[in-house]
Structure 1
Amino acid sequence: MSGDSEKRSFHGQLTKKYLKVPEDGRIETESFLDASEQSVIPLLDKMGSTAFVFVKSDVNGNISKLRKKHSENPERFKTLYAMVEDEMERKVTDDKNSATDALIWLIRGLNFICTFVQLLSKHDETEENIQPCLQEAYDNALKVHHGFLARTSIPITFKMAPNYSDLIGALSNGVGKEIIMEDINNYVEVLQENINAIHGFYVQQELKDTPLGS
């Protein structure tokens, strides 16, 4: 059967999505990085390349670092945690460009995006300005992890963000708002589950730094 009932929004038609956290809690490396690369980066492009240039660059860079680590031994590093555990054994978690650090910063970027999309789903559709959603997401998810220069410069880029109706239109793929929000909420629910699980792993391992802070 074809027709409008089968149409989905940007989030609904994604072929690479975050998977629910498995029972053993060990998230598969390739599927997680594929979802980050093929769902988050296109989403940021739709949101406006200028307004999200800082997080897009950060997400891309950290994905590349994690892929490089994974490629060293794909079978051994089948899960994200295996890469961190390897660096814990070798006492290199704090090294520059470590997978441990790259995963921390990838999760921080994803948490910012997740928080923003959650706020967007509750946004008053009569208000076109989405800058308050961006600022609140930044304040809640990233600000505490940034230095003075980033804290002052990043909010300036939010002025380049599209207005509400243009952004929703870009995410719609021609479907109504009810379907858009259903797809967004389904996507965010699984992403948040992954974020929380990874943060919980860092806390459990008593690592010095964690994705979401103390």
Structure 2
Amino acid sequence: MFFDQMNARFEDVPTDGGIATEPFLDACAALVPIFDALGSTAFAPIKSDINGNIKKLRGWHEKDPAGTATLEGMVTKEIDAKTTTASGSATDALLWLKRALSFISVFLRELVAGAEPATAATTAYGETLRKYHNFLVRGIFSVAMRACPTRKKLMDTLAGDSGADDAGVVERIRQFQTSFDPQLAQIDAFYQKNALDN
């Protein structure tokens, strides 16, 4: 099953005292192939955006591993230096990564509720990314959402060789969300507390 084949997992990310940077970014990178399961090259821009933001955050982490051991610590350094709005800042990269991951979270929530992938993607986009995108990017996403596979095909793809049926895949998504969603909420709360989510 897709979630069991991820080489890094959100359930292994330490979150006490802040979200551990390296394991979190590893788990994010392992999640990106979920867009391949959607079967549309129209999702390439979001994959590229996620990978680009992971790369930026890794770059900031490599410059000062101790000072950026947690995501919150990384952003706090920029708050203290008053560089949160600087071009290429870790604050901006994490903000956009959080937004893209929120899209995945809502998409999965809608799948668990029984939605077809196209409907789940449309709902997720409307709740998470749409308000930050211009007309052109919205058009690209509109195409991507119409190109989503059927629910059966997506669930079969996510099940992989496990032989799990729809209910089995849904249960595994629920398990995945028990660690993934709280980490997104933790990042979101930190950004809201520091008035950075704009």
Q: What is aligned with 1:81?
A: 72
Letter matched to residue 143 of structure 1? R
Shift of 1:175: 2.0
In structure 1, give the amino acid aligned to 2:154. L
User: Does 2:5 match 1:10?
Assistant: no
Aligned to 1:107: 98
Do residues 195 (structure 1) and 195 (structure 2) align? no
Counterpart AA for 1:22:
T
Would the aligned equivalents of 2:43 and 2:141 in 1 still touch at CA under 8 Å? no
Distance 2:143 2:173 in 1: 26
Which TM-score applies when normalising by structure 2? 0.91
1:136-155 correspondence to structure 2 within 5 Å: 136-155=123-142
Is the Cα–Cα contact under 8 Å of residues 21 and 194 in structure 1 kept in the other structure?
Answer: no
CA distance in 2, matches of 1:49, 1:157: 6
Whether the 8 Å contact between 1:50 and 1:161 is mirrored in structure 2 is no
1:102-130 Cα shifts (integer Å, max 9, x gaps):
00000000000111111112225xxxx53
- For 1:139, the aligned partner's letter is G
Which runs of no fewer than 5 residues in structure 2 stay unpaired?
none
Query: In the alignment, residue 38 of structure 2 is paired with which amino acid?
Result: M
Match of 1:3 in 2: none
C-alpha RMSD over aligned residues: 1.7
* Residue pair 2:39, 2:149 contacting (<8 A) in 1 also: yes
Cα distance, 1:156 vs structure 2: 1.5
Which of these residues, 18, 22, 35, is aligned with residue 30 of structure 1?
Answer: 22
Counterpart Cα distance in 2 of 1:49 and 1:78? 35
Instruction: Tell me, in whole angstroms, the C-alpha distance in 1 between the residues paired with 2:172 and 2:7.
Output: 13
Paired AA for residue 114 in structure 1: S
Aligned to 2:155: 168
Structure 1 position 185, deviation (Å): 0.8
Task: Tell me the amino acid that sits aligned with residue 19 of structure 2.
Answer: I
Gaps of 5+ in 1: 1-8
Question: Higher relative CO (CA 8 A, sep ≥ 6), structure 1 or 2?
Answer: 1
**Distance (whole Å) between structure 1 residues aligned to residue 100 and residue 171 of structure 2:** 23
Give yes or no for the alignment of 1:63 onto 2:40: no
Q: Flag the structure with higher helix content.
A: 2
d(CA) in 2 for partners of 1:106 and 1:130?
21
Mean CA deviation greater in 49-58 or 162-171? 49-58
* Contact 1:70–1:83, Cα closer than 8 Å, also in 2: yes
Matched, 1:204 2:193: yes
The CA deviation at 1:49 is 4.2
Deviations along 1:22-61, whole A, 9 cap, x unmatched? 343x0000010000001x1121112224142121111011
- Tell me the SS of whatever aligns to 1:153: helix
Do 2:2 and 2:159's aligned partners in 1 also have CA atoms closer than 8 Å?
yes
TM-score (norm 1): 0.84
Q: Distance in 1 between matches of 2:154 and 2:42?
A: 12
Residue 166 of structure 1 deviates from its aligned partner by 1.1
Deviation, structure 1 residue 21: 6.2
SS in 2 for 1:74: coil
Q: Identity across aligned pairs (percent)?
A: 34
